[in-house]
Amino acid sequence: MGHYIEVEDGVKVYAEDVGSGQPVVFIHGWPLNSKSFESQISILAQQNFRFIGIDLRGYGKSDKPWSGYDYDTAASDVKAVVDHLKLENFVLAGFSMGGPIAIRFLTKFGQQDVDKLLLMGAAAPVFTQRDDFKINLKPKEVDDIIKQIKEDRPAFLAQFADMFFEQKKSPQFLQWFQQLGLEAGAHSTINSAIALRDEDLRGELAGITVPTAIFHGKKDGICAYELGEELEKQIPNSVLVPFKDSGHGINADEPERFNNELLSFLRSSGVK
């Protein structure tokens, strides 16, 4: 079933809610929505887990206000969904931009209700390079992306799909992927890209104590594999799970392995 949940500033955020059992809360990447995890829904529901897929504000079926695309607001929106659905002992699973939002959720609201953290191709701890951080895209490359979105968003999204996957995909799949991005607000897509470019979570990792799995594609061209290595170094109780044949979209590049690793992590005691 789907829920529309009113968050702090009157914005309505959509959450897909399927199955019963321990909740797994998925936070999607830029510029997609919760449908990007549709191939996980049946697997989880069949194995007695409850799939919760949030469409962040600006994306999918959620409202698309002018502002609120920083990680802090996104984390607060996730908290509003968690509170509304009265979720306890849940797994927080963030993909790409959803990764830093999941991390910010933990540092902002605490870990008491969170059983485990799953980071998938996460855009963390920093998405763009700094004077003292030389991993991943340069800020100017994000500025170029914003320029392309302003000029021809459908063309950019078609090209983005090529960067996203390592394995060959059908034209129909790529069209579907492009459509997910087109469901977002153009202004939302741009404002989130600014957050990706500017936000920095390096000071927030050492305090995360929940068992954490880091799924990352070795051939990721959007969030470099080195980001996953950096996260493993800095998050105390974490393990890095490399996907050697995957680009950024690991759940579509290695779907069977992804689902097996996902279930294995969900069922684990979480002790390293």
Note the pLDDT tens digit of each residue in 156-208: 999 999 899 999 999 999 999 999 999 999 999 999 999 999 999 999 999 99
**Angle, to 10 degrees, between the axis of helix 171-182 and the axis of helix 139-164?**
140
- Asked about 77 being catalytic, the answer comes back as no
Given the residues 220, 238, 246, 253, select the one marked as catalytic.
Answer: 220
- Asked about 67 being catalytic, the answer comes back as no
The whole-number pLDDT of residue 270 equals: 57
Is 97 a domain residue? yes
pTM here is 0.97
pLDDT greater than 90 at residue 269: no
pLDDT greater than 60 at residue 130: yes
pLDDT greater than 80 at residue 115: yes
CATH number for the domain including 107?
3.40.50.1820
Distance in angstroms (rounded) separating the CA atoms of residues 55 and 46: 23
- Asked about 96 being catalytic, the answer comes back as yes
Is 231 a domain residue? yes
**Domain count along the chain:** 1
Q: What is the mean pLDDT of residues 135-147?
A: 97
Is 134 a domain residue? yes
Domain that holds residue 250: 2-267
Is 38 a domain residue? yes
Distance in angstroms (rounded) separating the CA atoms of residues 1 and 247: 31
Is 272 a domain residue? no
Given the residues 28, 192, 238, 248, select the one marked as catalytic.
Answer: 248
Q: What are phi and psi of 229, to 5 degrees?
A: -65, -40
Given the residues 96, 188, 192, 238, select the one marked as catalytic.
Answer: 96
The whole-number pLDDT of residue 229 equals: 98
Q: What is the mean pLDDT of residues 242-254?
A: 98
Contact 16, 52 (CB under 8 A): yes
pLDDT greater than 80 at residue 9: yes
